[in-house]
Structure 1
Amino acid sequence: MKNNNSDFLHLGNKLLHWYSQNARDLPFRKTRDPYKIWICEIVFQQTRISQGLNHYNNFVDRFPDVKTLAEASEDEVLLYWKGLGYYSRAINIHKAAKQIMSDYTGVFPSEYDEILKLKGVGKYTAAAISSICFNGKMPAVDGNFYRVLSRVFADDFDISSSRAFAYFSELSQLIIPDNVGDFNQAMMDLGSEICKPRNPVCLECPLNKDCLAFSLNKTHEFPVKTKKVKAENLDLHYFFVHRNGKFLIQQRKDDFIWKKLFEFPASIPEALKPFNKGSKILHHKLTHKNLTIEVNDIEVSSEEMWNDFTSKNEYLITDFESSLMRSFPKPLENYIQNRLKK
């Protein structure tokens, strides 16, 4: 695209006018506190607003500022993230809060390049915080930008390309107005409510008269994405070792999936295998991974063997009520809940 910005600037202004009348009434829209904008941007990266709003409210109620979050334990942060999934986001938020306390004397950085240095903060999030809270001029390019711009310009640039972010960042400059913060939020709302991936509500779109894909009846052809990551199949095996209402757990390390969450033992000695009462197969999907999880039910009837096994290993002994204060991967949490119902 080599057209001058002024040729398309009216599109950005139309979007701002639409946003002024149709912006979603969300609690974080009532603040310019960069801490709260940061938390909401991270929460809703992988979570629909309707699903994550209560989690966001509970999180900022418990951790209302950077200092409170930085001083909390990692386990407590993970507990308040419970139900949102993608727990590495919570770990990174905690690390970034400590980073702000140590590197920025507890004051949230205001410049895009400094925000980008925070743990777990990418270009989109840095641009959103910068523009909404500090009048920064960076477009918060994400899937909504890809979809809206691809359709408006009937642009077949492949969004799976490594150059997609840079390309659509430049393309957005054609329509971006002075009020970049509201423009970025308008693009979020338009992509979420109107210009949806499937079944877009084109007749209600403020840009439909300017949208080439709509005029050509080809909205379903945009955006173009050629590369699809094939999901990896992964098998996991656990042993639910229990006796008299108590069972064993351990905390995962911070590598691979489910960082720092709690799980059941992954192995047991031969002496405990005769106590196996059967197994249950669980299926779970992660981004780019299909999990098949086998959980073996090991009810140890011998107190001597229970004491011997627990004393020789570093497992934590917990019960069903106490387990509610720990963060487990969703399939294991469901397994525990189902046992509670028995």
Structure 2
Amino acid sequence: MKTKKQNADFLHVGRKLLDWYKIHGRELPFRKTNDPYKIWICEIIFQQTRIEQGLNHYRNFIERFPDVQTLAEAETDEVLLYWKGLGYYSRALNLHKASLQIINDFNGVFPVDYDHILQLKGIGKYTAAAISSICFGKKNAAVDGNFYRVLSRLFADDFDISNSKAFDYFSELALKMMPENEAGHFNEAMMDLGSEICKPKNPKCESCPLNKDCIAFNLGKISGFPVKTKKVKPTDLDLYYSFVEYNGQFLVRQRKDDFIWKKLFEFPVEIPADWQLFVVKQKTIAHKLTHKNLSIQMSHVVLESQDIFTEFAHGNGFSIITYEESHQKSFPKPLENYLKDYYENKSLMR
């Protein structure tokens, strides 16, 4: 299907969107500021977290790390701790690295230019466009999944959003709709429309301020857009862990800065062969990552000798901690859930 966007009055549609946004825009704490640091934090948090789920995390993170300097001076483990519960911990690691870039490369001042913002670790085209438009009034379209969905439906445009050129293609389209000096508000309006009205499933087309202009809606073909043909097939990955316990304490070690779950804490992966005698329980945990299906074989090992327990810990770089102390460390979600379930059930059995 060829797009019919050439017949649309782009700016007229853009102004209708802004009129709707001024009345119906969401009341969010980070919309009361144009501080690029706070906008940056909120954009990273809400990339893969729903607003209602992430607001408390945002408030807590900003309270502990109110500016770039504070974040840069913090220890990595503490940054990960304040990210706990959000998942995708690489985002927190990148935030910390980028804060050091700002201190070292930009004299502690958040960069203004889009290209300079794009140089920061963990910041892509969408985030750079959002910050530059909202904070500095730069005319950049913050194209994300909401933009793809709204624009492809609005103009019945079958450009494949999995195409590597999709961001630039839909950016050009959005810029034609964007009224002058309204870049930040326009981007936020598109985010709200996509999140609240033009949803992936069961969109609220009757309530949409652009339904009269929406070609897909008027053709009755909303479900056909956006077009996405390329899908990344997840790979299977088997992992093996042993939860090694002695007298209410257990062993953990921090992962390295490579592969999955960077810098998070984990249980022992390999144990001496004769410890199989002390395995009291085994279970398999299924867990999905973005491009991986994990199958985690978990063995619960209860040792009877403190000497063996501490000798193994000291010889292999493990820390000995209690469940209460584990709250101050960041674990991959399936390991965190294992700990929680085990100690809650243990408590109920007392």
Taking only the aligned residue pairs, the percentage that are identical comes to 65
Mapped partners of 2:6, 2:224: distance in 1: 26
1:194 paired to 2:202: no
Mapped partners of 2:4, 2:175: distance in 1: 11
Matching residue of 1:238:
241
Give the TM-score of the pair, scaled to structure 1. 0.97
Mapped partners of 1:265, 1:42: distance in 2: 31
Matching residue of 1:96:
98
CA drift of 1:173 comes to: 2.3
1:293 paired to 2:296: yes
Conservation of the 8 A alpha-carbon contact between 2:256 and 2:263? yes
Q: In the TM superposition, what are the counterparts of 1:93-242 in structure 2 within 5 Å?
A: 93-178=95-180, 179-242=182-245
Q: In the TM superposition, what are the counterparts of 1:320-335 in structure 2 within 5 Å?
A: 320-335=323-338
CA drift of 1:311 comes to: 3.0
Conservation of the 8 A alpha-carbon contact between 1:5 and 1:175? no
Matching residue of 1:248:
251
Name the SS for the 1:271 alignment partner: helix
Mapped partners of 2:314, 2:210: distance in 1: 67
Mapped partners of 2:307, 2:196: distance in 1: 61
Give the TM-score of the pair, scaled to structure 2. 0.95
RMSD (Å), alpha carbons: 1.4
CA drift of 1:271 comes to: 2.6
Conservation of the 8 A alpha-carbon contact between 2:139 and 2:175? no
Matching residue of 2:281:
278
Mapped partners of 2:10, 2:135: distance in 1: 26
Query: 2:86 pairs with 84, 87, 102, which one?
Result: 84
CA drift of 1:7 comes to: 3.1
CA drift of 1:280 comes to: 1.5
Cα 1:281–1:89 change in 2 (3 A) is same
CA drift of 1:286 comes to: 1.0
Name the SS for the 1:86 alignment partner: coil
Conservation of the 8 A alpha-carbon contact between 1:15 and 1:206? yes
- CA offsets 1:248-294 (integer angstroms, 9 cap, x no match): 01111111111110000100011322111121211111112111111
Cα 1:36–1:51 change in 2 (3 A) is same
Mapped partners of 2:296, 2:116: distance in 1: 41
The 10-residue stretch of structure 1 (286-295 or 50-59) with the greater mean CA deviation from structure 2: 286-295
Contiguous gaps of at least 5 residues in structure 2? none
Conservation of the 8 A alpha-carbon contact between 1:282 and 1:331? yes
The 10-residue stretch of structure 1 (271-280 or 136-145) with the greater mean CA deviation from structure 2: 271-280
CA drift of 1:3 comes to: 7.0
The aligned amino acid for 2:260 is I
Mapped partners of 1:5, 1:50: distance in 2: 38
Mapped partners of 2:143, 2:314: distance in 1: 53
Contiguous gaps of at least 5 residues in structure 1? none
Matching residue of 1:65:
67
Matching residue of 2:26:
24
Matching residue of 1:45:
47
